[in-house]
């Protein structure tokens, strides 16, 4: 039996558009990426001061620029390749990042390639750049997943009525089927329709017919962002072995992210155009296995001669 609506945590009516400037709309999703890159720059600056990252302050700024381009190109191409291959034959649709968004796994590949090219250009160890990114990326993941929640996208699978934090999303297909206003608004502009439905009391009338779902975006924010970040920073600050071996923190990040994403995918609604792709497993889980294998390789590789010389205990 569905519990009374008053006992639920309602989905917050936060406008995905943070700032209106005439026709220009600045969304929390874009701000999350911007702040994520700014925080990454601050992290890199600290690592430079710690002599952990062999870059100058000016080169840090250059590196951030390379990462911005790498994330966008890799994330969008990855989304098309892994989730919607038809976009690859429609370049005009491919550039519409707001439709479908970016793939994390694609962005990760883009960052790997971009950082490798930057490392060759600047003659710095590529895996040390990877270690630095491992310490910076979790902050961005947390912010972007919170923005996904505000957008009402990437919501979870149907949850049991007994789950205290389960929510009914206005972007749910069931909500759009019951509300012509939400259906007309689409996936980007649902906010005003949702606010009006709540103010008029009509949301309460249809809510019982909209399934309760896991807020899987918040699960990802906590596991992939907070938990992963805390573990990596504890390792770094205590100078644990992964922090003393070039590529060790990068490997730890890949393993931690892959494990978190694999688990959360059991609560996250599969992409409607794909569903599950291998038995009960989603594309996100399959890609995360590949990420985990990369992390395992980095974790098991022998320390280089430089690592051994600088850390005799290895």
DSSP 236-293: HHTT-HHHHSTTHHHHHHHHHHHHHHHHHTTTBPPPTTT--SBTTB-HHHHHHHHHHH
Would residue 101 count as lying in a domain? yes
Identify which of 73, 74, 14, 66 has the alpha carbon closest to the alpha carbon of residue 41.
66
The reported pLDDT for the residue numbered 22 is: 83
Beta bridge partners of 213: 158, 167
The reported pLDDT for the residue numbered 84 is: 84
Would residue 95 count as lying in a domain? yes
Would residue 6 count as lying in a domain? no
Would residue 62 count as lying in a domain? yes
One domain for residues 220 and 250: yes
One domain for residues 150 and 175: no
One domain for residues 183 and 54: no
The reported pLDDT for the residue numbered 312 is: 52
The number of distinct structural domains making up the chain is 2
Domain stop point among 186, 211, 236: 211
One domain for residues 153 and 68: yes
One domain for residues 89 and 222: yes
Task: Give the chain's mean pLDDT.
Answer: 91
One domain for residues 100 and 206: no
Q: How far apart are CA 294 and CA 314, in angstroms?
A: 21
Would residue 100 count as lying in a domain? yes
Would residue 225 count as lying in a domain? yes
One domain for residues 49 and 112: yes
One domain for residues 57 and 199: no
Q: Which residues, 6+ apart, have CB-to-CB distance to 132 below 8 Å?
A: 43, 44, 47, 52, 53
The boundaries of the domain holding residue 201 are 171-211
One domain for residues 188 and 264: no
One domain for residues 20 and 53: yes
- Positions in the chain whose pLDDT score sits under 50: 1-4, 6, 309
Would residue 104 count as lying in a domain? yes
One domain for residues 67 and 184: no
Would residue 9 count as lying in a domain? no
Q: How far apart are CA 295 and CA 133, in angstroms?
A: 14
Q: What is the pTM of this model?
A: 0.91
The reported pLDDT for the residue numbered 2 is: 47
CB neighbours of residue 44 within 10 Å:
25
One domain for residues 152 and 179: no
The reported pLDDT for the residue numbered 267 is: 97
Chain center to CA of 247:
22
The reported pLDDT for the residue numbered 24 is: 86
Distances (CA, A) of 138 to 34, 41, 182, 314: 14, 13, 33, 27
Residue carrying structure tokens 């190109």: 73
């Amino acid at each position: 039996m569905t519990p009374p609506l008053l006992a639920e945590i309602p989905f917050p009516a936060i406008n995905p558009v943070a700032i209106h400037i005439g026709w220009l709309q600045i969304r929390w999703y874009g701000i999350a990426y911007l702040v994520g890159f700014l925080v990454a720059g601050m992290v890199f600056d600290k690592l430079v001061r710690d002599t952990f990252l062999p870059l100058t302050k000016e080169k840090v700024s250059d590196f951030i620029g390379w990462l911005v381009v790498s994330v966008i190109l890799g994330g969008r191409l990855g989304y098309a390749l892994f989730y919607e291959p038809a976009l690859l034959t429609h370049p005009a649709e491919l550039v519409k990042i707001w439709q479908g968004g970016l793939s994390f796994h694609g962005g990760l590949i883009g960052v790997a390639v971009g950082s490798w090219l930057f490392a060759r250009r600047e003659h710095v160890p590529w895996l040390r750049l990877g270690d630095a990114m491992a310490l910076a990326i979790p902050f961005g993941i947390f912010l972007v997943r919170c923005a996904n929640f505000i957008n009402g996208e990437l919501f979870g699978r149907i949850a049991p009525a007994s789950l205290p934090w389960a929510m009914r999303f206005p972007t749910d297909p069931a909500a759009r089927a019951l509300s012509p206003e939400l259906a007309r608004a689409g996936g980007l502009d649902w906010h005003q329709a949702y606010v009006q439905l709540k103010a008029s009391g009509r949301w309460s009338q249809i809510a019982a017919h909209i399934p309760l779902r896991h807020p899987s975006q918040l699960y990802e924010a906590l596991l992939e962002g907070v938990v992963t970040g805390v573990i990596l920073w504890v390792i770094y600050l205590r100078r644990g072995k992964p922090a003393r071996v070039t590529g060790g923190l990068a490997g730890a990040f890949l393993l931690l992210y892959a494990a978190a994403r694999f688990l959360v995918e059991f609560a996250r609604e599969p992409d409607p155009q794909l569903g599950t792709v291998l038995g009960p497993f989603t594309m996100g889980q399959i890609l995360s296995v590949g990420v985990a294998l990369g992390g395992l390789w980095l974790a098991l590789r022998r320390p280089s001669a430089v690592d051994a010389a600088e850390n005799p205990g290895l």
